[in-house]
Amino acid sequence: MPRILDPDTRRSLIERVRYYHELGIYDFYRRGPAPGQVEASSIQPEARGQMTPRKTMAPRPPIEENMFEVIATRAELKVSDPVEALGIIREDLGDCTRCVLHKQGRKQIVFGVGNPGAELMFVGEGPGADEDEQGEPFVGRAGQLLNNMIKAMGLRREDVYIANVVKCRPPGNRTPEREECETCSPFLMRQIGAIKPKIIVALGAVSAKTLLAMNASMAQLRGRFYDFKPTGVRSNDPDWSGCKLAVTYHPAFLLRDPRQKGEAWKDLQMVMRELGLSVPSR
Ligand code: SF4
């Protein structure tokens, strides 16, 4: 069974590997213990002089595969055209079976849609039934509301890029599990690295918590910008080392509780000001 790392350990490990990358070291090999090999810590102090092993180290389970997959040097880093870079990432994703969502009724992978050179990117949670049917994020009722939100900002849907944390529909529109988010999100991180937006708007708690690796309530997460750098992704553009990230409510939540639309509008106005868009006085 793959070993799932807790977020802090995972982040530390990714930072350490990124540091090695900055030093120009890209290839890493994990070596299991040789038969009969012992760890120094497993030898009793009094026995160290004789080097008598107390017990043999158990074989370590493999670290989850896609941690190193996302950190490894990527072909998309060699291209400057975001369309081409996104094409490479989509090709890598392939007919993905990396998490259980591939066998829970998905019709197709919903990769993302919009302007590959967008300054503004929206990231939702996962595809619903309509998105699964059409292969495009945010096309159902929640998508209509997102379109209206984008229009209210003075933009068109085709001006922005829209993607989700998980790219396959969770059965019954359930919330994606943490493990599913962690397995799929490296591809989202790579999409962000290819698009290089100025601002990301995380739609809802799943998106915000996955992108920020923070466990906090929506009330705590909203109302400010975060400095965001996609985890494990090295940019080929010296002018882009990350972007700002804001959190607002998921449109599906706003459909259920329209009283929160005013709060979401405040979040979008904050984003508009940062993008230099004119904000209506009321
Ligand atoms: Fe692969 Fe993501 Fe779909 Fe899971 S949700 S099967 S990781 S594309």
222: closest CA among 247, 197, 199, 245?
247
pLDDT at 5 over 60: yes
Residue 99 beta carbon below 6 angstroms from any ligand 1 atom: yes
For a ligand 1 pocket test, name from 93, 103, 165 the mutation site with the most ligand atoms within 8 angstroms of its C-beta. 93
Residue 100 beta carbon below 6 angstroms from any ligand 1 atom: no
- State the pLDDT at residue 248: 98
SS3 annotation, 213-276? CCCCCHHHHCCCCEEECCCCCCCCCCCCCCEEEEEECCHHHHHHCHHHHHHHHHHHHHHHHHHC
Position 145, amino acid: L
Using only the alpha carbons of the chain, give its radius of gyration: 22
* Residues 103-122, mean pLDDT to the nearest whole number: 97
Q: Which two tokens stand for residue 216?
A: 């906090």
For a ligand 1 pocket test, name from 168, 177, 206 the mutation site with the most ligand atoms within 8 angstroms of its C-beta. 168
* Residues 148-162, mean pLDDT to the nearest whole number: 98
Residue 64: Cβ within 10 Å count: 18
Residue 66 beta carbon below 6 angstroms from any ligand 1 atom: no
pLDDT digits (tens, 9 = 90+) for 223-243: 999 999 998 887 778 889 899
Supply the DSSP symbol for 118.
-
- State the pLDDT at residue 55: 44
Residue 109 beta carbon below 6 angstroms from any ligand 1 atom: yes
CA distance readout (Å), 146 to 111, 141, 155, 252: 17, 9, 11, 9
pLDDT digits (tens, 9 = 90+) for 170-207: 999 999 999 999 999 999 999 999 999 999 999 999 99
- State the pLDDT at residue 118: 98
Q: Is the dihedral of CA 168, 148, 274, 259 positive or negative?
A: negative
- To the nearest 5 percent, what fractions of the chain are helix, strand and coil? 45, 10, 45
Q: Where does the pLDDT of residue 44 fall: very low under 50, low under 70, confident under 90, or very high at 90 and above?
A: very low
What whole-number distance in Å separates Cα of residue 170 and Cα of residue 191?
Answer: 21
What whole-number distance in Å separates Cα of residue 217 and Cα of residue 275?
Answer: 26
β-strands 161-164, 113-114 pairing = antiparallel
Domains of the chain: 7-71 (no CATH), 75-275 (3.40.470.10)
Residue 168 beta carbon below 6 angstroms from any ligand 1 atom: yes
Q: Which two tokens stand for residue 33?
A: 């213990």
pTM of the predicted model, to two decimals? Answer: 0.77
Nearest residue by C-alpha to atom 7 in ligand 1 = 184
